[in-house]
Amino acid sequence: MSNEPIIGFIGLGRMGSHMSSRLIAAGHRLVAYDVDAAALQRAVQKGATAAKSPAEVASKSDIVFASLPTPDIVKVVALADQGVIAGSRARMFIDLSTTGPRTAIEIAEALAAKKIIAVDSPVSGGPGGAEKGTLAIMVAASRGAVDELRPFLDVLGKVFWVGEEAGMGQTMKLVNNLLSAAATTITSEALVMGVKAGLDPATMLDVINAGSGRNTATADKFPRCVLPRRFDFGFSTDLLYKDVKLCLEEGERLGVPMIVGNAVRQLMAISKAREEPGSDITRIVCAVEDWAGVEVKGKTKV
């Protein structure tokens, strides 16, 4: 155990709290930091050592993971005066966040000057996947770096190597999240239309999930979170909107028309404007319900 690298973990929110807990439970020594003192204390109670800044994490650990909400926060954590770049020990920085490829490339280039390897490694699967260790982990790094990180990444989920260049992991994640957002928005419209016409939403989901319309929203989000009116999938519209926006910007940069993607973004923007900050992505259906004058509700499907 003493010869194993010490792991740093920055960002102990809905995703990071579960991922860091899994690493601790697997027996890895972990140094943690979060701006939320309560979140940091919970990690300490599980066995982590607290740090006072990202720089301190990077001075006390060999490999630093980060799970953070926005590109700007990731850049501050990685590159600011008290960021990972100022640490004296860390040799690898693994970003599990969704930042977009441009940010991943910028961070990788800056850290390389300090001989710190940046690994672009966003994840998908939500808080449930983070808790269960079933995340899809999209890693862009050298094969050697991936092999070194496998003992830690395998604790978190299934590893997919998508290439060596920084930004490729982020591009893969943006494509995934655009599809996820599209599934949620179009399912909202379809279910509301069916209910308005007199169909039972639970029956609709049974039929759709046995047929060609099945998607992540019909299979999970709607039966679990919308029909019982819980709206508690655990991922905010704000964050998914950010991901869709990043995806469309990258599509524009590459010269790819994103016609359907822009329609998805528009409905998400309407939902974001009418809901409280941090509202759950499953509340996107509420905007369509209000226009139609019906509710998609029923018994929880098991």
| Burial state string for 109-131 with b = 16 or more CB within 10 A and e = fewer than 16 | ebbeeeebbbbbbbbbbbbebbb
Positive or negative, the CA dihedral 216, 221, 223, 226 is negative
Residue 177 to residues 2, 44, 125, 242, 245, Cα–Cα distance (Å): 39, 32, 10, 10, 10
Strands 49-50 and 92-95, by their bridges, are unpaired
Q: What is the distance between the terminal CA atoms of the chain, rounded to a whole angstrom?
A: 42
Q: What is the DSSP string of the chain?
A: -TTSPPEEEE--STTHHHHHHHHHHTT--EEEE-S-HHHHHHHHHTTPEE-SSHHHHHHH-SEEEE--SSHHHHHHHHHSTTSGGG-SS--EEEE-S---HHHHHHHHHHHHTTT-EEEE--EESHHHHHHHT-EEEEEES-HHHHHHHHHHHHHHEEEEEEESSTTHHHHHHHHHHHHHHHHHHHHHHHHHHHHHHT--HHHHHHHHHTSTT--HIIIIIIIIIITTT---SS-BHHHHHHHHHHHHHHHHHHT---HHHHHHHHHHHHHHHHSPTT-BGGGHHHHHHHHHT-----PPP-
pLDDT at 301: 43
CA distance 58 to 64: 7
CA distance 132 to 118: 26
User: Residue 47: left if φ>0, alpha if ψ -120 to 50, beta else—which one?
Assistant: left
pLDDT at 3: 78
173 among known catalytic residues: yes
Domains of the chain: 7-165 (3.40.50.720), 171-292 (1.10.1040.10)
CA distance 103 to 169: 12
Sole residue written with tokens 């995806």:
247
Closest by Cα among 129, 149, 126 to 139: 149
CA distance 16 to 29: 16
pLDDT tens by residue, the chain, 302 residues: 457 899 999 999 999 999 999 999 999 999 999 999 999 999 999 999 999 999 999 999 999 999 999 999 999 999 999 999 999 999 999 999 999 999 999 999 999 999 999 999 999 998 989 999 999 999 999 999 999 999 999 999 999 999 999 999 999 999 999 999 999 999 999 999 999 999 999 999 999 999 999 999 999 999 999 999 999 998 999 999 999 999 999 999 999 999 999 999 999 999 999 999 999 999 999 999 999 999 999 854 44
Among candidate residues 60, 173, 221, 242, the one labeled active-site is: 173
pLDDT at 298: 87
Q: Number of C-alpha atoms within 13 angstroms, CB side, residue 47?
A: 13
